[in-house]
Amino acid sequence: MLVEQLYTNCLAQATYYVESDGEAAIIDPLRDTEDYILKAQERGVKIKYIFETHFHADFVSGHIDLAKKTGAQIIYGPGANTAYQIHEAKDGEVLKLGKISFTVLHTPGHTPESSCYLLKDEEGKDYCLFSGDTLFVGDVGRPDLLDGKMTKEELASMMYDSLNNKIKPLADEVILYPAHGPGSSCGKNLGPETHSTIGAQRANNYAMQEMSRDEFIAQVTDGITPPPNYFFDDARLNKTGYISLDMVIEKGMTALDLKTFEAKRTDGIRVVDVRIPDEFENGFIPDSINIGLNGQYAIWAGTLLPIHEPLVLVCPEGKEEEAVTRLARVGFDHIEGFLKGGFATWQDAGNRMDMVISITPEEFALDYKHGKIEVLDVRKPSEWDTCHLEGATHGSLQDLEKMIPSLKKDAQIYVHCAGGYRSMIAASMLKSAGFGLVKNVYGGWSKIKELDLPKVMPAKQSV
């Protein structure tokens, strides 16, 4: 028996490869499926099952393409109505894989069809639980993604039953393999590990503690921030189907000469520059948005940009396919190509370019004390609430576009996040919106918090 977690940091997502006696199963695959196919071929096994724990909202799964290429059967739990062929498993149904088996545990709560898969080893002993978005390390799946079809309170009540009746009875030593880790928006505050045990979660996960139904609902629904816009689009694609990834990559890998690229840009197609912030700030195409490949690139692209609208890319040479593939993972199917030669092509042609000025934390401190500046903190609400700079304005990156009209275009705006990745995205958005006096603070809050500047703590007292 082989159980392997395949973790993708930029999506905070875990896929699982399970193998026994010449047969393999893939659990919650990414849209780019070639690695799974190659792995099975190299090991001389046949992919028999593709297990889906639910209709994913944060990425487009590879289940449809993988099934077409391998002949594997797509497995969903009860209540999964799709526009393509699946095996809708019953609660408690057992599916054999070589000398091991999976027992389907219907665990509604995150979504109505959410199901966990309990793997039993060759001796028939409970070995691990593939929990999808039902149970995470330190958290549970958010219950607010049905877009009005069910209330979050109704789903949280279902989650209460799922945890108490299906998961808590499992032995402490059963390994927990969730679909996501830290940084995912599918829960409120996932722990730092990507796997755990039922016993550890019974001891440390707030949602696994003994409490009444009403107490559980109150805790699970408290403090949930609005989901990214693309979540509902991705859930729909996973339920109804999508075009093949091969087609998306073929179109996205079109190398555009400068004239064609500029025509698309002039026509209003959004330009996304995927270089790291340190390179982007020194020169970029006006109105382009920086979302660097060095961070949670796909998540932020899906959060900030409509996935159904066309894009063109500016990439470091050799990174074009990675940039296209990672966008496709969250549902961007209309990538019209990339500027051949990258930003150097634009620069060498003598075209107008824009810049973002970045300053050190020490320079920021001097301007804060002696200048007339506006500080924009684009961290998440939970980060802001922990501690922030006195007098700063909070505008989490996810909500920045909506608050831009309330900002003064003639103000000197100093932008920071926690470390610098999000603040450069924000700075590029502000520049695109016509803000000329924008500065980015190197190191963000990780450096600012060390400076002798007035801060506001949770108790709202200056320190």
Q: Is the pLDDT of residue 85 over 50?
A: yes
Each residue's pLDDT tens digit, 181-231: 998 888 888 889 999 999 999 999 999 999 999 999 999 999 888 888 899
Percent of residues, the chain, with pLDDT higher than 70? 98
Each residue's pLDDT tens digit, 393-447: 999 999 999 999 999 999 999 999 999 999 999 999 999 999 999 999 999 999 9
Task: Sketch the domain layout of the chain as residue ranges.
Answer: 2-230, 243-348, 357-456
Question: Which CATH superfamily includes the segment(s) 243-348?
Answer: Rhodanese-like domain (3.40.250.10)
Instruction: Give the pLDDT band of residue 146 (cuts 50, 70, 90).
Output: confident
Mean pLDDT of the chain: 95
Whether domain 357-456 has CATH 3.40.250.10: the reply is yes
Q: Which residue has the tokens 């279902």?
A: 158
Each residue's pLDDT tens digit, 318-350: 999 999 999 999 999 999 999 999 999 999 999
Give the pLDDT confidence score for residue 459 in this predicted structure.
Answer: 54
Mean pLDDT of 144-161: 91
Q: Is the pLDDT of residue 103 over 50?
A: yes
Question: Which CATH superfamily includes the segment(s) 2-230?
Answer: Ribonuclease Z/Hydroxyacylglutathione hydrolase-like (3.60.15.10)
One fold for both 2-230 and 357-456? Answer: no
Q: Is the pLDDT of residue 463 over 70?
A: no
- Identify the bridge partners of residue 455 per DSSP, sorted by sequence position: 389
Give the pLDDT confidence score for residue 460 in this predicted structure.
Answer: 46
